[in-house]
Amino acid sequence: MAKLHVHTTVNGEAAEFLCEPHETLLAALRNELGLTGTKEGCATGDCGACSILLDGRLVPSCLVLAAESQDRAVTTIEGLALGDALHPLQRKFLEHAALQCGICTPGFIVAAKALLDRQPEPTEQEARFWLAGNLCRCTGYDKIIRAVLDTAAEMRKTAV
Amino acid sequence: MSDRTFTYVGTRPVRHDGMDKVTGRANYGADFSLPGMLHGVVVRSPHAHARIVSIDTHEAEAVPGVLAVVTARDIPETRAKLMLGEGALDLRDISENLLARTKVLYHGHTVAAVAATTLDAAREGAARVKVTYEVLEPVMTIEQALAANAPILHSDMITKGQHGAKAPSNVAARMELKRGDVGNGFTQADVVVEREFRTPTVHQGYIEPHACVARWGEDGRAFVWCSTQGPFAVRDQCAAVLGMDAAQVKVIPSEIGGGFGGKIVVYLEPLAVALSRKARRPVKMVMGREEVFRATGPTSGTRIRMKLGATRDGTFVAADASLYYEAGAYRGSPAGAGMMCLVAPYRIPNFVIEAFDVVVNKPKVAAYRAPGSPTASFAIESVIDELARELRLDPIDLRLKNAVVEGDAAPFGPAYGPIGLKALLEAARRHPHWKTPLAANQGRGVACGFWFNAGMNSSATVTLNMDGSAAVVTGNPDIGGTRAAQALMVSEELGIPVERIRPGVGDTDSSGYTDVTGGSRVCYATGMAVIGAAQDVREQLRARAAKIWNVDVASVTWEKGHAVPPKGAEKAEPLSVNDLAAKMTHTGGPIVGRASLYAPMAGPGFGAHICDLEVDPETGRSRVVRYTAFQDVGKAVHPSFVEGQIQGGAAQGIGWALNEEYVFDKNGVMENAGFLDYRMPVASDLPMIETVLIEVANPLHPYGVRGVGEVPIVPPLAAVANAMRDATGIRFTELPLSPPRVLAALNHEPTPVRTSDELSAVKADS
């Protein structure tokens, strides 16, 4: 079967690629566009390592077909920093040592951004339930949750 | 040593590799690619136990795009042993686990590998490899393995350590550890508790599946890029399995997305090299999650009988235990380690512990964080909890009364040096957590844990740059922040700010031999090599200063990052690292410090955890509502990552206690080979995990460091089960404490506390 020609927007820039009809968006991002910051941990939507934003909505890119990104806006971990400035979540993850091996980190940061975009004042419980779709095997989540709540507090302060 | 004051060690700088990891730039195993690369997939056995009658690869080779198929015929048959660090690995087992030769021994066992120009073509090729099997009855439990008429996995396996054993058996080895006179010991006991415990097969659960790229060259040399805990371990296994010199294989480690012991033995790398050798193209292989569950990792399912006796005042007088650990398809469970860890935290004058290494038709077990210790701890710490109840003693007081101190003999031989078990138990007793009242349906449990920690081989180089910054390189992939710790050590020795240190992970050509990132050894043993290499630089700097000042080197001292001239030396002002670095070309050339060492021993590690559990009586679901972990860490070089190790280990242990298990059907097929059904803890399952770091300096390390990574997975199994006992009145002796099991137990009468008399009656019956 012929490959599909997909036009999309990735991290604010126009992008196009060829893909198989059954190819996932995760595979296209990694293999066609070279954006390997989005990780595959399970390919079944259970681990969250491949979390991206599709038109601002948090999705596991392993469960989205590459062709579905036609004419839509994709945000990946590579698109979070603004120029030289890290996204506050990225900075707080570093400050709080909220990563060990780091394989889940891109997914957590993207998922946490989706949370803070919706709910700038999450409680610990809200943060824990929102991030329950992202598996981390190294940290026990403690420092991740602290980093997210601290980011929220700082962003509220700077927003005032 | 303990009274030493530190400038950098003990601070919490941002890790040097952090920026790449929060921006997605860090490259892990599956992130590497080469031009012209093929994709390799493996053909796995659909049976848990079968004889291979024939393998026909012709149809697979004819699939368009398929360029190579390999089977066991493509790798040499061997019976050799391979030394990796302290452990001798049976090369035949590694080789046959990689590519089954005559039998498949678990569902998912590799029988062939296929490389093709696309992943789809490789999968098509794999589907067309025709394997004819003679299906055999699978052996899935310890009971089945031990049964008199059990199917035998390995016809040449005779039980080692079993006097007079002649017939083939599924028991690979029997081991025994003894002290004193157990029979006499139990006669002194006022209370004896005996229980039998079971734990299921569980997986390390690293989020990154195994992945590698291999490139074979016409010169007979191979390059392997992969995610591993030990680049030298991969190199040596590849070379040994494929019959190459170690010098013919270069391994370049990627960032590693978790390992916990599971990324030491090779699964893909030799296959990728063999495929590349056949196809003359680079080959990439990446496992799916299902393959990770079915064919890598897990740790042993166990059955442990534990009997412990104490006098009325709570003094332990005798212990008697039998440990059966599943090895999976090939010998080598951590039963021996479990045997040595079982009573390690306690003074017990009389004990006999026997341990059995049992093969079953499950994937060959791999190391998993303190291998062997958590399940042993589950048994003894549950029994101690019952003893405390019978004796009406506070469970921390009971443990304190029997806790080992410096000078006590470890059950496996040597006397302990300075250790912090009593100090951390006292900290636990004082902690507000221990005294806070519980709400309805809640219970509290406490448990201790021990791990040896490892030393072994390490190398490090420190290169001083002309601007006074420096690089440090070791051979240990960084799983949890070790680069940051190594940079801190260089800063401490040379006075160079930690941001000006670049810590790196070398490949097998660019770093000296270093054993795996495992055994809680990196900060300890590799740390000593780093400190040694930095001190080597410092000595060279003193020599350079002496040369500049034209004085005897012995008269040059080193203070706060400066070479200081002897009193009275003319026109001599102290020279900083920057000053000396800028002059290095004219004072003798590049300054590179190096150190290599073998650390025969390490500082033993102890911890104690307090767990509060809330149980929903309607569903049997339980939730950890508060958790505090106390651990003797020796010296926390980067406290954030020490805390992180403890929090992560506790979370893994909680998962082991509450939910994780391999579920097999009657044919030996794992039914829950995915993260949806193999239920690891998620953020909403856990509370914050408080850590209390006790620092009893380890005299074997210049800063007092002892390993920290493994101890924290040991106590949670029993801490959770003891909390469950407290909340429900039910002593669970089988994990996991998943809602169905708890609900079933809640709907029946609580299990009564069995006395030693009742137990003897039970024993007499059986």
Using a CB-CB distance cutoff of 8 angstroms, which residues of chain B are in contact with residue A38? 24
CATH code, domain carrying A64: 3.10.20.30
Tell me what the mean pLDDT of segment B126-138 comes to. Answer: 98
Q: Total structural domains in chain A? A: 2
pLDDT for the residue A82: 83
Tell me what the mean pLDDT of segment B521-541 comes to. Answer: 98
pLDDT band at B452 (very low <50, low <70, confident <90, very high): very high
Which of A100, A134, A135 is the best mutation test for B, with the most CBs of B within 10 A?
A: A100
Last residue in a domain, options A30, A53, A79 = A79
Indicate the residue type of A116: L
Do B117 and B47 share a structural domain? Answer: yes
pLDDT for the residue B453: 95
pLDDT for the residue B564: 97
pLDDT for the residue A159: 78
Say if B92 falls within a structural domain.
yes
Q: Give burial (CB, 10 Å; 0-12/13-18/19+) of B570.
A: exposed
CATH code, domain carrying B464: 3.30.365.10
Say if B355 falls within a structural domain.
yes
pLDDT for the residue B572: 84
Tell me what the mean pLDDT of segment B711-738 comes to. Answer: 98
pLDDT band at A1 (very low <50, low <70, confident <90, very high): low
At B681-712, the pLDDT tens digits run 999 999 999 999 999 999 999 999 999 999 99
pLDDT for the residue A160: 65
pLDDT for the residue B86: 52
Do B661 and B757 share a structural domain? Answer: yes
Q: By the CB < 8 Å criterion, does B485 face chain A? A: no
pLDDT at B87 over 80: no
pLDDT for the residue B748: 83
Do B672 and B582 share a structural domain? Answer: no
What's chain A's length in residues? 160
Beta bridge partners of B324: B303, B356
CA angle, B680 then B734 then B310, to 5°: 125
Tell me what the mean pLDDT of segment A22-39 comes to. Answer: 98
pLDDT for the residue B78: 79
At A107-144, the pLDDT tens digits run 999 999 999 999 999 999 999 999 999 999 999 999 99
Shortest Cα–Cα distance, A60 to chain B (Å): 14
Task: Give the pair of three-digit tokens for residue B681.
Answer: 């803890």
Alpha-carbon distance of B352 to B319, in angstroms, equals 7
Tell me what the mean pLDDT of segment B90-94 comes to. Answer: 90
- Provide the residue range defining the domain that includes A32: 4-79
Mention every residue, 6+ apart, whose C-beta is less than 8 A from residue B183. Answer: none
Question: Could you write out the DSSP letters of every residue in B63-107?
Answer: STTEEEEE-GGGS-----EEEETTEEEEHHHHHHHHS-SSEE-ST
Last residue in a domain, options B599, B629, B661 = B599
Query: Measuring CA to CA, which residue among B750, B751, B749, B717 is closest to residue B736?
Result: B717
Task: Give the pair of three-digit tokens for residue B229.
Answer: 């805990």
CATH code, domain carrying B74: 3.90.1170.50
Using a CB-CB distance cutoff of 8 angstroms, which residues of chain A are in contact with residue B685? 132
Peptide bond into B736 cis (omega under 30): yes
CB pairs under 8 A between A and B: 187
Alpha-carbon torsion, ordered B584, B587, B592, B597, to 10 deg: -150
pLDDT at B648 over 50: yes
Alpha-carbon distance of B380 to B341, in angstroms, equals 10
Q: By the CB < 8 Å criterion, does B279 face chain A? A: no
pLDDT for the residue B374: 98
Do A101 and A70 share a structural domain? Answer: no
If you average pLDDT over every residue of chain A, what do you get? 97
| Cα dist from B539 to B9, B114, B458, B494, B559, whole Å | 21, 54, 21, 10, 12
CATH code, domain carrying A119: 1.10.150.120
At B656-674, the pLDDT tens digits run 999 999 999 999 999 999 9
At B4-21, the pLDDT tens digits run 899 999 999 999 999 999
- Provide the residue range defining the domain that includes B639: 302-453+602-765
pLDDT for the residue A120: 97
Tell me what the mean pLDDT of segment B547-562 comes to. Answer: 95
Alpha-carbon distance of B173 to B31, in angstroms, equals 41
Q: By the CB < 8 Å criterion, does B616 face chain A? A: no
The sign of the torsion formed by the CA atoms of B380, B384, B387, B389 equals: negative
Do B498 and B447 share a structural domain? Answer: no
Indicate the residue type of B286: V
Shortest Cα–Cα distance, B661 to chain A (Å): 16
Q: Give burial (CB, 10 Å; 0-12/13-18/19+) of B417.
A: middle
Strands (E), A61-154: 73-75
Do B471 and B439 share a structural domain? Answer: no
Q: Total structural domains in chain B? A: 3
Which of residues 55 through 84 in chain A touch B, CB cutoff 8 A? 76-78, 80-81
Do B449 and B316 share a structural domain? Answer: yes
Using a CB-CB distance cutoff of 8 angstroms, which residues of chain A are in contact with residue B19? 86, 94
At B368-379, the pLDDT tens digits run 999 999 999 999
Using a CB-CB distance cutoff of 8 angstroms, which residues of chain A are in contact with residue B688? 124, 142, 145-146
Tell me what the mean pLDDT of segment A67-76 comes to. Answer: 98
pLDDT band at B755 (very low <50, low <70, confident <90, very high): very low
Alpha-carbon distance of B112 to B117, in angstroms, equals 17
Q: By the CB < 8 Å criterion, does A18 face chain B? A: no
Last residue in a domain, options A47, A79, A111 = A79
Q: By the CB < 8 Å criterion, does A110 face chain B? A: no
Using a CB-CB distance cutoff of 8 angstroms, which residues of chain A are in contact with residue B689? 140, 142
Tell me what the mean pLDDT of segment B396-425 comes to. Answer: 97
Alpha-carbon distance of B467 to B579, in angstroms, equals 9
| Residue B708 contacts residue B633 (beta carbons within 8 Å) | yes
Do A94 and A49 share a structural domain? Answer: no
pLDDT at B761 over 80: no
Indicate the residue type of A16: E
pLDDT for the residue B84: 64
Mention every residue, 6+ apart, whose C-beta is less than 8 A from residue B550. Answer: none
Do B607 and B749 share a structural domain? Answer: yes
pLDDT at B639 over 90: yes
Using a CB-CB distance cutoff of 8 angstroms, which residues of chain B are in contact with residue A86? 19, 22-23
Do B521 and B439 share a structural domain? Answer: no
pLDDT for the residue B762: 44
Using a CB-CB distance cutoff of 8 angstroms, which residues of chain B are in contact with residue A110? none
| Residue B251 contacts residue B235 (beta carbons within 8 Å) | yes
pLDDT for the residue B81: 75
Shortest Cα–Cα distance, B384 to chain A (Å): 27
Out of A36, A109, A137, name the one closest to residue B205 (CB): A137
User: Are B207 and A139 in contact (CB < 8 Å)?
Assistant: no
Do A150 and A112 share a structural domain? Answer: yes
Do B741 and B641 share a structural domain? Answer: yes
Which of residues 123 through 142 in chain A touch B, CB cutoff 8 A? 124-125, 127-129, 131-142
Question: Could you write out the DSSP letters of every residue in B151-213?
Answer: PPS-TT-B-BT-TT--SB-SEEEEEEEEES-HHHHHHT-SEEEEEEEEE--B----SSPPEEE
At B597-633, the pLDDT tens digits run 999 999 999 999 999 999 999 999 999 999 999 999 9
Do A41 and A101 share a structural domain? Answer: no
Q: By the CB < 8 Å criterion, does A9 face chain B? A: no
User: Are B257 and A94 in contact (CB < 8 Å)?
Assistant: no
Mention every residue, 6+ apart, whose C-beta is less than 8 A from residue B718. Answer: B377, B378, B379, B380, B381, B382, B385, B445, B447
pLDDT at B763 over 90: no
pLDDT band at B757 (very low <50, low <70, confident <90, very high): very low
| Residue A103 contacts residue A138 (beta carbons within 8 Å) | no
At B483-499, the pLDDT tens digits run 999 999 999 999 999 99
Do B738 and B682 share a structural domain? Answer: yes
Do B226 and B82 share a structural domain? Answer: yes
